[in-house]
């Protein structure tokens, strides 16, 4: 039986990863009644449950900050309960950690990050529902999404809202609404927290407690490389557990160390799949979109891998081409190929989350669809939180960079 939760929200956000949190904050700070639905008992998504722990840069690697707003607020907040700092060049502590060539990034404690993010949600008055999985959507005759079916320990009920944000990381809401998505190849990874006296690792909290990353260059074995399936996720996770078992058994067998000094402390609570599903948007970021001017740009973002590679973010990349009443944010926006690899990380997820939250708020205020709003209407609001949209606004000239393709 499906009952009604008897709750009517202005905006419902599915998924409390960094993108969903940014979306919920942006909408709630405009005075809207916002619900944030999360299937786990933790918030932060991959960034926290996935033990990711590096907030990648807000700058272009050549001294220019390009990403601002809630994404910057989250980076600065993320260190409150952690032993890390960002570089002095970006206003951090003198002697602050220089992670990768003085870029505006930092490490954080996943647990500490959860405490900080929850504080932001509380202050903004967001209604957070943990352990609440979005299972299905309800649509009006014109195809607009009007409600979500949510399952939690109360049972399965309906939540109504004026507008929706899909920040599930794998476009669950859009897929349940019948929208098309694409997927990409993934490879096996395991980032986990361990205690080890011997290892000197990049990602360390203390001399003995650190994150150890295992990785494989081989693509995971799936039917057509498709990871939009539950059995693939289970297999992925159990393979990563096997990697850990073999690693510890071998280190004990070899006599290099023993279980009293060297052991696992925490495994990721989410499958560390990087790219599961992205929507087919009204506009799409793709190979070669870097340094491309989009009249519809709603935010700037710099590639985390290579200095001097900057993107304008087209508004339509957050709007599904085939589902009404929904914005998409985070690692499932419409980005394919190299652009998806670039955008699938924390700073861009938070940036697109804020855009989606503002967009959903405007759509409710003006009683219209995302496609009826102009990018300039969103920019007017985002500018109030220091957003920049085009290269020239931060003093960058694409003509000087086009040879990097
Ligand atoms: C191994 C690995 C290493 C990485 N390293 C880095 C790094 O160093 N730095 C960096 O910046 N990024 C890194 N990333 C990427 C980054 O962590 C994520 O891409 C980013 O955090 C995505 O945020 P998101 O909010 O878009 O999605 P997610 O973090 O996936 O959040 C989605 C949320 O939605 C929830 N959800 C899903 N479905 C439902 C549903 N039906 N109902 C309710 N809730 C639902 C999920 O539980 C989750 O909390 C790494 C990723 C991996 C896998």
CATH of the domain at 137: 3.50.50.60
User: If you measure from the C-alpha of residue 341 to the centroid of ligand 1, how many angstroms do you get, rounded to a whole number?
Assistant: 13
The rounded distance, in Å, linking the Cα atoms of 45 and 51 is 9
Say yes or no to pLDDT of 326 above 50. Answer: yes
Instruction: Output the pLDDT for position 401.
Output: 85
- Tell which of 266, 287, 314 closes a domain: 266
Same domain, 295 and 402: yes
**279 and 335 together in one domain:** yes
Coil vs helix vs strand at 196: coil
Which of 331, 297, 298 has the alpha carbon at shortest distance from 69?
298
- The count of structural domains within the chain is 2
pLDDT higher than threshold 60 for residue 336: yes
> How many C-beta neighbours within 10 Å does residue 140 have?
11
Q: Which residue has a Cα nearest atom 38 of ligand 1? A: 168
Check if the beta carbon of residue 219 is closer than 8 Å to that of residue 186. Answer: yes
Range with the lowest mean pLDDT among 107-111, 140-144, 217-221?
Answer: 217-221
CA distance 259 to 86: 34
Mean pLDDT of 214-223: 81
Assess whether 321 and 397 both reside in one domain.
yes
**Same domain for 88 and 177:** yes
DSSP code, position 372: G
Beta strands 106-107 and 278-279 are unpaired
Share of the chain above pLDDT 90, in %: 80
In the chain, the percentage of residues whose pLDDT exceeds 70 is 97
- Statement: residue 205 has pLDDT above 80: no
| CA pair distance 347, 22, nearest whole angstrom | 10
Residue 346 Cβ contacting ligand 1 at under 6 Å: yes
The average pLDDT across 368-377 equals 98
Mean pLDDT across 304-330: 97
Whether pLDDT at 361 is above 80: yes
Confidence (pLDDT) at 202: 60
| Residue 233 DSSP SS3 | helix
Confidence of residue 198 (pLDDT cuts 50, 70, 90): low
d(CA 236, CA 189): 9
Indicate whether 377 and 313 sit together in one domain.
Answer: yes
The pLDDT value given to residue 216: 84
Q: Check residue 201 and give its pLDDT.
A: 61
Q: What is the mean pLDDT of residues 171-189?
A: 94
Q: How far is the CA of 232 from the centre of ligand 1 (A)?
A: 17
Rounded to the nearest whole angstrom, what is the distance from the C-alpha of residue 394 to the centroid of ligand 1?
Answer: 28
> What average pLDDT does the segment 302-313 reach?
96
Looking at per-residue pLDDT, the higher value among 216 and 331 belongs to 331
Task: For residue 253, report the distance from its CA to the centre of ligand 1, in Å.
Answer: 35
223 and 152 part of one domain: no
Q: Residue 271's closest CA among 106, 40, 13, 109?
A: 40
191 and 66 within one domain: no
pLDDT above 50 for 18: yes
Residue 314 pLDDT exceeds 90: yes
Cβ atoms 317, 327 nearer than 8 A = no
**Which residues have a Cβ under 8 Å from the Cβ of 284 and sit 6 or more positions away?**
314, 316, 317, 334, 335, 336
Query: What does pLDDT average to over the chain?
Result: 94
Mean pLDDT of 343-366: 98
Question: Is it the case that residue 268 has pLDDT exceeding 50?
Answer: yes
Domain stops at, among 210, 245, 266: 266
Burial tier of 76 (Cβ tally within 10 Å: 0-12, 13-18, 19+): middle
Q: Is the pLDDT of residue 135 over 90?
A: yes
Which ligand 1 atom sits closest to the C-alpha of 49?
A: 49
For residue 200, the model assigns a pLDDT of: 63
Q: Alpha-carbon distance 46 to 74, whole Å?
A: 15
75-104: pLDDT as tens digits: 999 999 998 898 889 998 877 776 777 899
The verdict on 179 and 191 lying in the same domain is no
Q: Which of 381, 340, 348 has its CA nearest to residue 22?
A: 348
On the CB side of 17, CA atoms within 13 Å amount to: 33
Asked if pLDDT for residue 21 goes beyond 70, the answer is: yes
Distance of CA 334 to the CA centre of its chain: 14
Question: What is the torsional sign of CA 319, 325, 327, 332?
Answer: negative
Q: Residue 87, Cα to own-chain centre: how many angstroms?
A: 23
208: domain range?
Answer: 187-266
Residue 325 shares a structural domain with residue 260: no
Are β-strands 326-328 and 145-152 bridged in parallel, bridged antiparallel, or unpaired? unpaired
**Are residues 286 and 257 located together in one domain of the fold?**
no
Closest CA to 235 of 243, 344, 17: 243
Query: What residues contact 150, with CB distance under 8 A and at least 6 apart?
Result: 5, 37, 129, 132, 133, 134, 135, 156, 157, 158, 159
Residue 66: alpha-carbon gap to chain centroid: 18
Are 97 and 226 part of one and the same domain?
A: no
Domain closes at, from 249, 266, 283: 266
pLDDT for 405 equals: 46
Ligand 1 atom closest to residue 15's alpha carbon, by position in its atom list: 34
Ligand 1 contact via 331 beta carbon (within 6 Å): yes
Q: Which band of pLDDT confidence, cut at 50, 70 and 90, is reported for residue 399?
A: very high
Closest atom of ligand 1 to 21 CA is 25
Element (H, E) at 237: helix 230-253
The encoded tokens of residue 171 equal: 């476009």
Distance 186 CA to ligand 1 centre (A): 14
- Ligand 1: atom nearest CA of 350 is 25
362 vs 347: CA distance, rounded Å: 23
Closest residue by Cα to atom 9, ligand 1, is 54
Write the DSSP string, 14-45.
Answer: E--BHHHHHHHHHHHTTT--EEEE-SSSSSBT
Judged against a pLDDT cut of 60, whether residue 120 lies above it is answered with yes
The pLDDT value given to residue 403: 56
Torsion-angle region of residue 345: left (phi > 0), alpha (psi -120 to 50) or beta?
beta
CB 138 within 8 A of CB 146: yes
Q: Residue 67, SS3?
A: coil
Q: 318 and 172 in one domain?
A: yes
- DSSP-derived 3-state class of residue 11: strand
Token readout for 363 is 């759509």
Give 282's pLDDT tier (boundaries 50, 70, 90). very high
Q: What is the mean pLDDT of the segment spanning 213-225?
A: 80
């Amino acid at each position: 039986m499906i009952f009604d939760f008897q709750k009517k929200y202005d905006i419902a956000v599915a998924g409390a990863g960094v993108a969903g949190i940014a979306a919920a904050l942006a909408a709630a700070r405009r005075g809207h009644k916002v619900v944030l639905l999360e299937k786990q008992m933790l918030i932060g998504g991959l960034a926290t449950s996935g033990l990711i722990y590096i907030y990648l840069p807000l700058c272009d690697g050549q001294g220019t900050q390009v990403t601002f707003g809630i994404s910057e607020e989250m980076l600065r907040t993320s260190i409150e309960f952690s032993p890390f700092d960002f570089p002095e060049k970006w206003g951090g502590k003198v002697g602050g950690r220089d992670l990768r060539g003085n870029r505006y990034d930092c490490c954080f404690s996943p647990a500490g990050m959860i405490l900080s993010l929850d504080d932001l949600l509380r202050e903004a008055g967001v209604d957070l529902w943990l352990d609440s999985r979005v299972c299905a959507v309800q649509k009006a005759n014109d195809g607009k999404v009007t409600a979500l079916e949510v399952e939690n320990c109360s049972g399965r009920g309906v939540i109504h809202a004026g507008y929706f944000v899909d920040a599930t990381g794998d476009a669950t809401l859009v897929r349940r609404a019948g929208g098309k998505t694409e997927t990409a190849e993934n490879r096996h990874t395991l980032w986990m927290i361990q205690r080890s006296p011997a290892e000197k690792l990049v990602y360390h909290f203390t001399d003995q407690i650190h994150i150890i990353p295992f990785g494989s260059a081989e693509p995971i074995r799936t039917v057509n490389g498709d990871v939009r399936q539950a059995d693939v996720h289970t297999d992925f996770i159990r393979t990563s557990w096997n990697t850990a078992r073999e690693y510890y058994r071998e280190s004990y067998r070899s006599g290099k160390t023993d279980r009293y000094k060297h052991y696992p402390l925490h495994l990721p609570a989410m499958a560390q799949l990087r790219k599961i599903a992205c929507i087919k948007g009204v506009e799409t970021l793709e190979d070669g979109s870097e340094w491309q001017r989009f009249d519809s740009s709603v935010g700037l973002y710099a590639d985390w891998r290579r200095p001097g590679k900057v993107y304008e973010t087209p508004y339509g990349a957050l709007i599904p081409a085939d589902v009404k009443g929904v914005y998409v944010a985070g690692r499932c926006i419409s980005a394919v190929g190299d652009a998806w690899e670039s955008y699938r990380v924390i700073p861009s997820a938070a940036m697109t989350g804020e855009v989606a939250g503002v967009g959903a708020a405007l759509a409710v205020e003006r009683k219209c669809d995302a496609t009826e709003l102009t990018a300039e209407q969103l920019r007017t609001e985002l500018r109030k939180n220091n957003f920049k949209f085009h290269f020239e606004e931060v003093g960058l000239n694409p003509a000087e960079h086009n040879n990097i393709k």
